Structure 1
């Protein structure tokens, strides 16, 4: 895995987050390099700049390398982006005093004079982001968007023009192009949430623009809804919750349980929270808050005493445009460490991903609960009789988190 970024006289050491993940993927791409090169070539001055969709801080670190006091506002929907950027700034001894963080729903600050963006995979979300910018950018503000050349077409440029202002693309460099958009100063209304129902579960679902399967129930979740685990569960995690559909149905199945929704996407966590309120699932017989909502990197920052007895998981197999299974590995390893003894991890995934091999290596057991032509539901139980780490020998199974006081050891 390459960790040394070198472009336009700038040298950086960059890692994806967490730094010990075994995905063999870089923390930046050629579009990041192209944007940095564009700024250097055009002798861009350090003006009040917004950076949007900076995966692991390559753009942020690049600008702070040019000018350590460059005033920056960083917008991200991904907690791993925030954590990765912070990690890489520290690694390169770059001061973050000039940074302001906002998520994809926070109010954007006034006075932005330049915007740098990476084109996200989700184009509905991209349109949402452009319309957000249209509400604060004065006419004439330059917005630079880095993307793979193959992703740029007439339709994309028309979307940018409708949402923010006229746009044109540069010549190709390393198979990427920089789109230059000039904001027209006209504020656009933000898109409405997408709403649909799951009649068989009597649930109403509302989704923000960057939520996976925002317009309908995805088929992996559907087979999971039809095959919920059996047991007397009191503490349930919907890990990688998306709009929260699995956790919502778990509350219907186990009305005495407390449900914990966790996702790397802040919009997903917000949608899950809205859907909990929308469906009025609180049990009047229980005391206290019956649902919690965490914007986090898997189970990284849960309290030391947190020990659920069921974790539901529909793992993603991509991060941005990169296809990878390291997120599933992290979810499974975090689940093993966090589950109480006897607790269950209940997973749905595409058959070809072979999650049963991973679960067997970590939990020493794995049962097929249900399957169809495309998906399989697997269940693994934590049955260790003493506190121990899973026996992992292959580098690709190495824990993405170093052992630390945050994790400690599972209860016996």
Structure 2
């Protein structure tokens, strides 16, 4: 895996987060390089800058290495992006006192004079980001968007023009282009939340724009909901919770349980919390809430006091544009370490992903609880004598 970032006389060592993840993916792509190259070519001076969708801090680190006090507002929905950025600043001996953090629901400050942005995979989310920028940016503020050439077309440029200001694309370089948008200063309305019922479980669900399965129950979650394990479970983790549907249903099935929702996406955690509250799942007779919400990289920072006896997991098999199984590996390992002896991990996934192989390596056991033509539900039990690996 390449860790040496070198462009426009900037030399950095960059790694993905966590740095020891089992993958051969690098922490940046050619679109990051193209954006930095473009800034050097136009001799962009230091300015109040919003950096949006910077996967592991390549853009922020490059700006700071050129000007230590370059003022940057970092907008990210991913906890791994935030943690990766901080790691790469430290690895390159840079102070991050010039960084301010925004989640993907917050408006950037009015003082922003420059925006650097990577095109996200989710175009509904991208539109939401453009609309929020339109509410803060002054007329004529430049917005530079890095993307693969194959992702840029007339419709995309029209979308940017509609929601922020006129946009044009540069010539290609390393199969990427830089889109230049000049903000027109006209604020756009933000999208309204969409709610939809899951009638068979008497639940109402809503999603923010960067949460998987925008307005329907995805088929992997559906087979999981129909096959939750029987028994008594006191502490449950919905790992990679998305909108929280698995944890919400778990609370219905195990009404005395404490349910912890964990996701790398801040929008997912916010959606899960909103759905918990909208469905009134806390027991009013309990002195403390039973739903707990954690924006985190898998279970890395979950309190030591949380020892689940059931972990429910619908793992993603991509991170941004990259298809990878390292997130599933980390989820399964974290679940193993966190589970009480005798506790269960229940996983749903596409049959072709071969999760049973990973689970047998970690837990030394794995059984199939249910399956259909596309998905399989697997269960692994932590041995009562299980020791951390």
Scaled to the shorter chain, the TM-score interval is over 0.9
Aligned to 2:336: 336
Q: Aligned with 1:342: secondary structure? A: coil
Q: Please give the per-residue CA displacement for 1:364-400, whole angstroms capped at 9, x wherever unaligned.
A: 00000000000000000001415331xxxxxxxxxxx
Q: Aligned with 2:147: secondary structure? A: strand
Aligned to 2:175: 175
Deviation, structure 1 residue 194: 2.0
Q: Aligned with 2:228: secondary structure? A: coil
Runs of 4+ residues deviating >6 angstroms: none
How many matched pairs? 389
Aligned to 2:363: 363
1:227 and 2:227 matched: yes
Unaligned runs of 5+ in 2: none
Aligned to 1:402: none
Contact 2:56 2:81 in 1 (8 A): yes
Q: Aligned with 2:83: secondary structure? A: helix
**CA distance in structure 2 between the aligned counterparts of 1:339 and 1:135, rounded to whole angstroms:** 45
Cα RMSD (Å) of the superposition? Answer: 0.8
Unaligned runs of 5+ in 1: 390-412
TM-score relative to the length of structure 1: 0.93
Q: Aligned with 2:212: secondary structure? A: coil
Deviation, structure 1 residue 181: 0.1
- What is the correspondence of 1:259-274 to structure 2 with a 5 Å cutoff? 259-274=259-274
**CA distance in structure 2 between the aligned counterparts of 1:2 and 1:197, rounded to whole angstroms:** 46
Q: Please give the per-residue CA displacement for 1:158-195, whole angstroms capped at 9, x wherever unaligned.
A: 11011100100000000000000000000001111121
TM-score relative to the length of structure 2: 0.99
Aligned to 1:216: 216
- What is the correspondence of 1:267-282 to structure 2 with a 5 Å cutoff? 267-282=267-282
Contact 1:256 1:286 in 2 (8 A): no
Q: Please give the per-residue CA displacement for 1:59-88, whole angstroms capped at 9, x wherever unaligned.
A: 001101111110100000000000000000
**CA distance in structure 1 between the aligned counterparts of 2:354 and 2:275, rounded to whole angstroms:** 32
Contact 1:49 1:116 in 2 (8 A): yes
Aligned to 1:123: 123
Q: Aligned with 2:158: secondary structure? A: helix
- What is the correspondence of 1:125-164 to structure 2 with a 5 Å cutoff? 125-164=125-164
Aligned to 2:166: 166
**CA distance in structure 2 between the aligned counterparts of 1:19 and 1:61, rounded to whole angstroms:** 16
Contact 1:282 1:290 in 2 (8 A): yes
- What is the correspondence of 1:184-223 to structure 2 with a 5 Å cutoff? 184-223=184-223
Q: Please give the per-residue CA displacement for 1:298-321, whole angstroms capped at 9, x wherever unaligned.
A: 100011222010000000000000
**CA distance in structure 2 between the aligned counterparts of 1:357 and 1:104, rounded to whole angstroms:** 36
Aligned to 2:20: 20
